[in-house]
């Protein structure tokens, strides 16, 4: 049997793309200068699609792929996949959960340390030659401070475990209280923000959570509080975030994700109480390789008629 045709809609690292090219006839839609031409030539043969976690897949692209059977996401988030549409057409959607949980949780801890203890600012202080002129500022102790986690999935739990080990007090919100979790459930996000020193965004992106962290939530977190986001930029109302930081009604922000990556609101660049990372939550060599292996393993399983390794819960 000839290699199945697969369309690639995001730039992929060589450790995923090379093995993919060895086993599949890959059509590089992400890099193609003539995307319409690529579709005219190959759309009728394409049976698989590979995309990144943040890639948005429009339904009109899927309409142009009548033989599509599977979307394999190189990432845990699939907020860019039109899930209802895929259900309607029987298209499977797989992702790469679990393998990145620890790294993303580490990134959240890093942002708590960099904002709370001011480590990013302190690094700039040394580099600017300020230390020889004066002593560094005192910051706030993290042990004993209150952390609210929005979204206690696998990543949220791993964040809670790490911060609890640092002596922080953990509470969470989400759709429902979770069985077997010792941390306190606070049903209302505004109430959780009001009591928290750090509010950590760890829920999935997508229409259900768009702008969930709005001006009201940010006001409740207030000038004593810091927002940390390792999930999706879409979950925070970004203009409201910028306004709250500009007005000093929010204490600080540690952000790994943004609404329009790689664009970052200019106003944030000049703020000393904000730490900005370029979406590096899962960006270690080990984890990206494991994500790539799982992304390909799902395709391999599908085309060999074996059970998928992961399938998104909405389609399970
Ligand atoms: C990756 C992510 O940057 O897993 C996700 O959902 O956002 C990140 O781990 C991305 O998926 C790489 O394509």
Kindly report the CATH number assigned to the domain that includes residue 71. Answer: 3.40.50.720
Q: Which pLDDT band, with edges at 50, 70 and 90, does 286 fall under?
A: very high
> Is 172 among the domain residues?
yes
Ligand 1 center–CA 132 separation, angstroms: 41
Cα(199)–Cα(147) distance, integer angstroms: 6
**Neighbouring C-beta atoms of residue 267, cutoff 10 Å:** 14
User: What percentage of the chain exceeds 90 in pLDDT?
Assistant: 99
109 & 86 share domain: no
Residue 142 domain flag: yes
Mean pLDDT along residues 166-171: 98
Say whether both 187 and 215 belong to one domain. Answer: yes
- Please state, in angstroms and rounded to a whole number, the distance separating the CA atoms of residues 143 and 170: 11
The verdict on 71 and 144 lying in the same domain is: no
> Within this chain, do residues 84 and 114 fall inside the same structural domain, yes or no?
no
Dump pLDDT digits (tens) for 111-162. Answer: 999 999 999 999 999 999 999 999 999 999 999 999 999 999 999 999 999 9
Q: Examine residue 192 and state whether it is found in any structural domain, yes or no.
A: yes
Place of tokens 């060895």: 22
Both 90 and 117 in one domain: the answer is no
Residues 250, 121 within the same domain = yes
Q: How far apart are CA 114 and CA 269, in angstroms?
A: 15
Q: What is the mean pLDDT of residues 264-292?
A: 98
Q: For the chain, what is the radius of gyration of the CA atoms?
A: 21
- Is residue 124 included in any domain, yes or no? yes
Q: How confident is the model at residue 1 (pLDDT cuts 50, 70, 90)?
A: low
Identify whether residues 270 and 234 lie together within a single domain.
yes
Give the domain range for residue 76: 5-99+286-315
Whole-model pTM: value is: 0.97
Co-location of 230 and 156 in the same domain: yes
Could you give the percent of the chain with pLDDT greater than 70?
Answer: 100
Number of domains in the chain: 2
Ligand 1 atom nearest to 52, measured from its CA: 13
Q: Are strands 198-201 and 184-185 parallel, antiparallel or unpaired?
A: unpaired
**73 with 194, same domain?**
no
When the pLDDT of each residue in the chain is averaged and rounded to a whole number, the result is 98
Instruction: Verify that 187 and 150 share a domain, yes or no.
Output: yes
- pLDDT given at position 2: 87
Which active-site residues does the annotation give? Answer: 232, 261, 279
Looking at the structure, do residues 232 and 136 belong to the same domain, yes or no?
yes
Average pLDDT over residues 207-228: 98
Rounded to the nearest angstrom, the distance between the alpha carbon of 53 and the centre of ligand 1 is: 4
Average pLDDT over residues 41-58: 96
Q: Is residue 281 part of a domain?
A: no
> Is the C-beta atom of 258 inside 6 A of ligand 1?
no
- Shared-domain flag, residues 217 and 246: yes
């Amino acid at each position: 049997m000839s290699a199945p045709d697969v369309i690639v809609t995001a730039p992929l690292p060589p450790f995923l793309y090379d093995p993919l090219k060895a086993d599949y006839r890959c059509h590089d839609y992400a890099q193609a200068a003539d995307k319409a031409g690529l579709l005219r030539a190959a759309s009728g043969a394409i049976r698989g699609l590979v995309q990144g976690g943040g890639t948005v897949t429009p339904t009109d692209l899927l309409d142009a792929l009548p033989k599509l059977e599977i979307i394999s996401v190189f990432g845990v988030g699939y907020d860019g996949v039109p899930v209802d549409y895929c259900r309607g057409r029987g298209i499977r959607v797989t992702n790469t959960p679990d393998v990145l949980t620890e790294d993303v949780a580490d990134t959240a801890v890093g942002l708590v340390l960099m904002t709370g203890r001011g480590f990013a600012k302190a690094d700039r202080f040394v580099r600017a030659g300020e230390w020889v002129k004066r002593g560094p500022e005192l910051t706030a102790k993290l042990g004993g401070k209150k952390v609210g986690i929005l979204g206690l999935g696998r990543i949220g739990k791993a964040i809670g475990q790490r911060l609890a080990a640092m002596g922080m007090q953990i509470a969470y919100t989400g759709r429902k209280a979770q069985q077997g979790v010792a941390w306190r459930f606070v049903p209302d996000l505004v109430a959780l923000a009001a009591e928290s020193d750090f509010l950590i965004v760890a829920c999935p992106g997508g229409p259900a959570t768009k702008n969930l962290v709005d001006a009201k939530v940010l006001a409740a977190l207030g000038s004593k509080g810091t927002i940390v986001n390792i999930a999706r930029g879409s979950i925070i109302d970004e203009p409201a975030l910028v306004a709250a930081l500009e007005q000093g009604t929010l204490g600080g922000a540690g952000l790994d994700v943004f609404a329009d990556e790689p664009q970052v609101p200019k106003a944030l660049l000049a703020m000393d109480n904000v730490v900005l990372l370029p979406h590096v939550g899962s960006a270690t060599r080990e984890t990206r390789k494991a994500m790539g292996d799982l992304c390909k393993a799902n395709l391999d399983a599908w085309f060999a008629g074996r059970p998928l390794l992961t399938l998104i819960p909405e389609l399970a």
